[in-house]
Structure 1
Amino acid sequence: MLFSKRNGNSGIAPYTSAFNLSQVQVYADNSGEGSVIMDSAAALVQGLWQATDLQNTTLANGSTIISPLGGYQYVPINSVSPNEDITLDSTDQCKAFTTHTTTVYNSSIFQAKQEEAASFFSELSPYVGGRSLELDNMWNIYDYMNVQSIHNTTFAAALPSEYLAQARDLVDWQQYQVFTDPSFDGIGNIGFRTMLPGILNSFKQFQNASTGLKLSYYAISYKPFLGLFNMTGIVNDGQVPQAVVDYAGTTVFELRQPSSGSEPTVRLLFKNGTAATEYSPVTMSFSGWNGAQSGTDVPLSTFVSAFAPAAINSTLDWCQACGTTTERGCAVALAAAAETASSGGHQKISKVGAGFLGAGLTAAVFLMALGVLAFLGVLTVGGRRWRRKRAASGSKEKIRSASGGDVELHSEANSLSKV
């Protein structure tokens, strides 16, 4: 898919050729997940563009020098820091999201689930490394059990066979409650809502055939696409589980041009890890679109009309939605907005302030750097990782994870996908 040709136009340079910088952009969430997401992005691009003796340069004396390590290809990865851009990590320091999490934990449905799990928790003490046995700490419980079962032979032999699966069911339920929202534009969906401006703008760019860019790849945590699953309605009838995806799980948005020449359509596909052999189309359902009646391909205008109002388009929007006043550049953004409002015009801000505006500005710059993608575009999200937590025993870090995920924007330049 990434390297196909359509209508006689060249696709992305294959792994047997030299990496073409003009065709690819790579971004990775560099927030509080350690280096796991950056490492995941590096591993993926290393596999896509392998070492080749074509990665060389000819000197003035006529000699040819091949890159180190047998022609290793250095694919640039743009690190997205949460101190400068809230697009890929929008839950941290969001006060409204913290309130949402507390509300979830205090809800009757959560308390009922806690009581339901009580007997299971009473048997888990020998297998959690001293961690607090409460449902709101389920991520740390499962993360410890999963890592130990993979790497610790003694632990794996002692752990009852059904315990890990039971813990996985609980963590899937708990994480989905936290990182989604019953309301389409609710704060629980903020992980995906801050990515929407980039996605919608990319759809617009896909329709301009003047670029040479073929692929934009995002490596992110799993949190944003839990919101994606929720907002697109693909979990409503069980097509996709209300759960953290398996290793290397991905979702794909395709912007397709019908052969009839009518309006482009958006199609969503899902592949849950390496156990699945191919991507399967899933049917979206949201306000203005009933996929069960109308099918998998949503007219682009319908998709945009539904999702654009829920998008968080700037750091200022994020600060206001979160009720955050100082952290992550909000002091600068809110002060600039207040001064602009009082002056009735556009207020200039300092270079330092500009550096903290983040989401809207940085995302816009990224997307302009992406260039203009062609009519066929793909957004892929997924590929999570689990890793050992290093928090002290009894830690109640409830919403942090070491999961990594991938997002790709893909296009065939100057071509249309006929469907």
Structure 2
Amino acid sequence: MGFNTLLLSLATLPLLAKSETVLGVYIFHRHGDRTPKSLPPVNLTALGADEAFQSGSFYRSRYVASDASAPIVGLSSDIAVPSQLNVVSPSDSVLQSSALAFLQGIYPPAGELSMSVLANSSEVQAPLGGYQYIPVTTSATASTSTNAESNEWLQGGSGCGNAVVSSNNYFSSSSYLSTLSQTKTFYSDLLPVINTTFSASQATFKNAYTIFDYVNVATIHNASIPGEELLTSETLRQLRTRADEHEFNLAFNASEPIRAIAGATLAAQVVQQLNATLSGGGATPPPLGIQFGAYASFLSFFGLARLHEVSDDFTGVVDYASSMVFELVTNASDAARPVDASEVAVRFLFANGTAAANPLTPFPLFGTGETVLPWERFAEEMGRFAVGDTAAWCVACGNTTGQCAAVGAAGSSSGNDAANGGGDGGNGISLPVAGVIGALVTLVVILAVEGLVYALAGLKLVKKSALAAGAAAGAAGTGGEAAGSKA
């Protein structure tokens, strides 16, 4: 089923029920339009910056602005509060620049709100009309791919040994070899278009994505292209579909889950962020998480979350400035955190291309057929394949040097098991589970035991607000700490 048909069928689904409150959001975003990978250095274009900015403006109108359609509870609407945002990007100029452009859409220049009055009564206007400086954290995990957009093959820059081996297995598979043979003439016939960058030996399916990328950028930016008469609509379609086939198979394989390490680490990051937002704790957790990353992470996650079973379009490279969103929502009448986990759900949404011009649409995850999942079910399903800390990543990847040296040979056995798909993963997926997922499961067990103790002792949990009211009326207020333990 094509995306257009699928989007029409899902267009009648409400993005947000009227009774819902958005507690937190995690956005994973691709960069905007850029120069081709085959002509380094790769740079974000003016079009790409605008795509990211327009996407940020869309999400501002949805989650941030004072008149937002689905406001995130407690989020500042006009002046960015750094502690309320967790923005992450690899150390890559295209992704970092896209993040900065996006953030200017989320929080545009503050104008008069950025004016300061000094002790001598003089007024000072912040530069650029109150341009808001929002920190973008550089990814520093073992799975970070530095200069990701300069790597022609993104898995090659992942640093995950077992994932690289798994992806290389695709090049010896019967499906790859068959397509390589079948498309030999197709790619060689394109040499008049690409021969300034690709040699005759390079004009094969092995370079399907970089050839597509080179031609795609040219069709967007070049007024004339050598041999452009060869670029018929059918040729362009086949360039795209072959690139999709090539990249999806490098990013995901159901029998070798380690190949999808990018999606596995993303899954853990999503749950970590949403769990922090939900559980609260002593400090106020950031309700808005934003991460910029490459298309490989989209493809890996699509496979792990079984979205390719919803539509074949989830096996294709996403367009520039695409985004997927995880909304943490509740129907609880009192949405002030912490909210009981049983009253919280997660909605997954996706926009192929900048959300300002393409519909942000809910899709069902994990083969459930449901676009909104209870928090516990969502966390459990993500936990089947999530990898969320350096130790787990090192074990899964079989890496023993660098920052993985401390893990050492002790984890090599389980790491190989994970790479080979061992263990019970429900849908055949098994990877070391993120530390945060384990902590979450432990928390659920603790709360269950705590509830049993309370029941046996004849006690009950009450909200802090009720305790405060009781205290004001002169009643005893010593149970506040117990009430505060709700997740």
Following superposition, the deviation at residue 245 of structure 1 comes to 0.9
* Partner AA of 2:143 in structure 1: I
Larger radius of gyration: 2
Q: Is the 8 A contact 1:316 1:334 kept in 2?
A: no
Kindly report which structure 2 residues correspond to 1:308-327, keeping only aligned pairs within 5 A, or say none: 308-327=383-402
- Aligned to 2:291, the other structure's residue is in SS state strand
Alpha-carbon spacing, 1:190–1:9, altered in 2? closer, same or farther (3 Å): closer
- The correspondence for 1:98, drawn from 146, 160, 164, is 164
RMSD: 3.2
Following superposition, the deviation at residue 108 of structure 1 comes to 0.4
Question: Which residue of the partner structure matches residue 203 of structure 2?
Answer: 133
Q: Which amino acid aligns with 2:135?
A: P
Q: Structure 1 residues 138-147 or 194-203, which shifts more?
A: 194-203
Looking at structure 2, the residues matched to 250 and 7 of structure 1 have their Cα atoms a distance apart, in angstroms, of 17
Which of 236, 239, 260 does residue 164 from structure 1 map onto?
A: 236
Pair 1:298-2:355 in alignment: no
**One-letter amino acid of the counterpart of residue 405, structure 2:** A
- Would the alpha carbon gap of residues 158 and 240 (structure 1) be closer, same or farther in structure 2, given more than 3 Å must change? closer
Shift in Å, 1:173: 0.9
What whole-Å deviation, never above 9, does each CA across 1:96-141 have from its counterpart, x for those lacking one?
Answer: 1121122111100111111222221121111223421122211221
For 1:192, the equivalent position in structure 2 comes to 263
Amino acid aligned to 2:272 = N
- 1-structure distance, mates of 2:408, 2:231: 53
Deviations 1:154-183 (A, max 9, x none): 217555232332211111110000011214
Q: Which residue of 2 aligns with 1:341?
A: none
1:12 is the counterpart of 2:75: yes
- Measure how far apart 1:9 and its partner are: 8.6
Following the alignment from structure 1 to structure 2, what is the Cα–Cα distance between the partners of residues 7 and 43? Answer: 22
The answer as to whether partners of 2:87 and 2:137 remain within 8 angstroms in 1 is yes
- Distance in structure 2 (CA, Å) of the matches to 1:23 and 1:200: 17
The separation in 2 between residues aligned to 1:221 and 1:194, in whole angstroms, is 13
Q: Hey, what's the Cα distance between the residues in 2 that align with 1:297 and 1:74?
A: 34
Distance 1:209 1:332, change over 3 A: closer
How many matched pairs? Answer: 328
Shift in CA distance, 310/18, structure 1 to aligned 2, threshold 3 Å = closer
Structure 2 counterparts to residues 31-70 of structure 1, below 5 A: 34-51=92-109, 52-70=111-129
Residue type of the alignment partner of 1:23: Q
Q: 1:175 — aligned with what?
A: 247
Q: Which amino acid aligns with 1:141?
A: I
Letter in 2 for 1:42: L
Task: Indicate how the Cα distance of structure 1 residues 7 and 325 shifts in structure 2: closer, same or farther if over 3 A, else same.
Answer: closer
Q: What are structure 1's unaligned runs of at least 5 residues?
A: 339-359, 365-419
Residue type matched to 2:120 in 1?
N
> 1:219, CA displacement in angstroms?
1.1
Match of 2:311 in 1: 238
1:88 touches 1:195 (CA, 8 Å); kept in 2? no
- What's the offset of the Cα at 1:239? 6.8
Q: Return the alpha-carbon distance in structure 2 between the equivalents of residues 337 and 107 of structure 1.
A: 29
Q: CA deviation at 1:280?
A: 1.7
In structure 2, C-alpha distance between the alignment counterparts of 1:312 and 1:232, rounded to whole Å: 14
Change (3 A) 1:107 1:123: same
8 Å CA contact 1:269–1:282 kept in 2: the answer is yes
Q: Name the CA distance, whole Å, in 2 between partners of 1:141 and 1:50.
A: 37
Within 5 Å, give how 1:365-376 maps onto structure 2: none
- How many angstroms apart in 2 are the aligned matches of 1:22 and 1:10? 14
Unaligned runs of 5+ in 2: 1-61, 147-153, 334-339, 413-433, 438-487
| Cα distance change, pair 119–296 in 1 and its aligned pair in 2 (3 A) | same
Give distance in 1, aligned partners of 2:382 and 2:73. Answer: 32
Question: 2:344, 2:145 → 1: CA distance?
Answer: 27
Q: Is the 8 A contact 2:273 2:289 kept in 1?
A: no
Shift of 1:206: 2.9
Task: Specify which structure has the higher proportion of helix.
Answer: 2
What is the distance in 2 between the residues matched to 1:230 and 1:19? Answer: 35
Is 1:151–2:244 an aligned residue pair?
Answer: no
1:207 aligns with 278
CA distance 1:7–1:224, shift in 2 (3 Å): closer
